[in-house]
Structure 1
Amino acid sequence: MTETLDKSKVYFVGAGPGDPELITLKGYRLLQQADVVIYAGSLINPALLDYCKPEAECHDSAYLHLQQIIQLMVDGIHHNKLVVRLQTGDLSLYGSVREQGEELAKQQIGFRCIAGVSSFLGAAAELGVEYTVPEVSQSLIITRMAGRTPTPELESLIRFAGHQTSMAIFLSVQGIGAVAEQLVQGGYPTETPVSVVYKATWPDCQILKGTLADIAQTVTDAGIQKTALILVGRFLGEEYHYSKLYDAAFSHEYR
């Protein structure tokens, strides 16, 4: 059953990784009904805005600061309009929802979050791989390299590399050389496979493959400097072991 929409709240919607068909059904329905849509600039596939009704107000937030974004939301709510904040991927990763929510709270306005498909999932789908491979890797680290936004010392790439598990590195392809250097310094062998996925699930998606020894040059040669994920780990290699899930001798409790 479709829930009744509350125009006294802002709806934060995860737009998915790029393919306009990878937005959730709930997100799609919200876009269809929205009166005001504030979308995250070029990170959002403009085809998603085709789901909006012709009279909807669509605002590109790439050129707006936080208070301008909040003011658009507040104005919409005060005029009894359905307001949607459309953000890339899933809201729970590098989404800045909390700071927007805190500003809305100052205006006595609540919000709802609608989950989306993250680009790390879209990238795995493009490659046809699993981050968790029996006897190879059973964990995934999602992180970024420190830049203008610092990372806690305990979460540095060097420290995480000591686990040598699957890793998806966001917002760092512009420093791919330093990324590779830190991962090797932290413990990954230089022959560890790496894939860089540019604009996963978009029509112009590119996939670059290599190892920690050569991926930096490959990415530089391709001219990729943003909107790409770095995937690292043995899950990208040839080693594979069958899961016990469908073993004939295995119990069926978890199927």
Structure 2
Amino acid sequence: MRDITLELCRENSNFLLKPAVYIIGAGPGDPDLLTVKALKILTRADVILFADSLVPVQILDFCKQDAKIMRTANKTLEDILPVMVEEVRRGKSVVRLHSGDPSLYSATHEQMHLLAEAEVPFEVIPGISAFQAAAAKLKVELTVPGLVQTIILTRISGRTEVPENEELTALAAHKASLCLYLSARHVENAQAKLLAHYPGDTPVAVCYRLGWDDEKISVVPLTEMAEFTHQEELIRTTLYVVSPALAENNHQNQRSHLYHPAHSRLFREE
């Protein structure tokens, strides 16, 4: 299926790629989760800058053979930005390939600001985030009627401080589906803050390197979250999904009105 999609992208002559920076979300790891638009751009782009520590190298298989490839895991923004600006000014199309979705923990804010300041056109192409891939792998909906209707995406303070009003204990008070990024190194602290409001038996999905060949996903009680993390030696690329929606009996809650026969709506007569 991937080969067929790729061939269709390459043959679509109506898709014109202008000189610009294309900030693309590569998803959490599985190359098949790239959007069709991302594929169209990758098959035509002249220059690819990709975060090789977080984006699988297999994604480069989609690029054209003569594309210039720059690995950025060991680079700073001061190394990367001049390359993007210079290449676009030379009339080239540039892809800045990030893991997950560019709107979440991707350090794109400063890149977009500096590109705009340099009057270099850019476009952002969204990608699948780890929390979405986790829900798909777990085969759950994180918003179950009568149980939980809110998803919180957050992290615990580390090198990057979390604003005081977004402190984890305060967010945990909502008892929503909470997706905790970038927190494996501080898991004991995170667990303690979550236990201030969530019951100890709340299911937690510990998701390591989603979409990669060495992916690991396990569901444990909240009280075992830190112990399991240390047991598996997880220190990075780990997402925690804390949610009552993961409970085995969550189907006992109220069903959605959307397809209920007793519910009338615009496209279905009473």
* 1:65 aligned partner: 76
The answer as to 2:212 corresponding to 1:202 is: yes
2:45 to 34, 45, 69: 34
- CA distance in structure 2 between the partners assigned to 1:213 and 1:82 by the alignment: 49
The answer as to 2:147 corresponding to 1:136 is: yes
What RMSD over aligned residues (CA atoms) do the two structures have, in Å?
Answer: 1.5
Report the more deviating stretch, 195-204 or 137-146. Answer: 195-204
Contact map agreement 1:208 1:219 (CA 8 A) in 2? no
* 1:245 aligned partner: 258
Q: Percent identity?
A: 38
TM superposition shift of 1:84: 0.5
Contact map agreement 1:126 1:201 (CA 8 A) in 2? no
- CA distance in structure 2 between the partners assigned to 1:253 and 1:58 by the alignment: 50
Matches within 5 A, 1:9-24: 9-24=20-35
Q: For 1:120, what is the secondary structure of its paired residue?
A: helix
The answer as to 2:17 corresponding to 1:5 is: yes
- CA distance in structure 1 between the partners assigned to 2:77 and 2:103 by the alignment: 18
Contact map agreement 1:208 1:218 (CA 8 A) in 2? no
TM-score (norm 1): 0.95
Q: For 2:96, what is the secondary structure of its paired residue?
A: strand
Contact map agreement 2:155 2:182 (CA 8 A) in 1? yes
- CA distance in structure 2 between the partners assigned to 1:130 and 1:105 by the alignment: 38
- CA distance in structure 2 between the partners assigned to 1:134 and 1:106 by the alignment: 45
The answer as to 2:115 corresponding to 1:104 is: yes
- CA distance in structure 2 between the partners assigned to 1:107 and 1:239 by the alignment: 51
Contact map agreement 2:17 2:44 (CA 8 A) in 1? no
Report the more deviating stretch, 172-181 or 146-155. Answer: 172-181
In structure 1, runs of 5+ residues without a counterpart are: none
TM superposition shift of 1:160: 0.4
* Aligned amino acid, residue 108 of structure 1: E
TM superposition shift of 1:78: 2.4
The answer as to 2:167 corresponding to 1:179 is: no
* Aligned amino acid, residue 208 of structure 2: Y
- CA distance in structure 2 between the partners assigned to 1:254 and 1:67 by the alignment: 53
* 1:236 aligned partner: 246
1:45 to 35, 56, 65: 56
* Aligned amino acid, residue 246 of structure 2: L
Contact map agreement 2:15 2:40 (CA 8 A) in 1? no
TM superposition shift of 1:46: 0.8
Contact map agreement 1:101 1:110 (CA 8 A) in 2? no
- CA distance in structure 2 between the partners assigned to 1:97 and 1:111 by the alignment: 11
Contact map agreement 1:192 1:233 (CA 8 A) in 2? yes
* 1:81 aligned partner: 92
Aligned length: 253
TM superposition shift of 1:252: 3.9
Q: For 1:248, what is the secondary structure of its paired residue?
A: coil
2:165 to 148, 154, 165: 154
TM superposition shift of 1:244: 2.3
- CA distance in structure 2 between the partners assigned to 1:44 and 1:254 by the alignment: 42
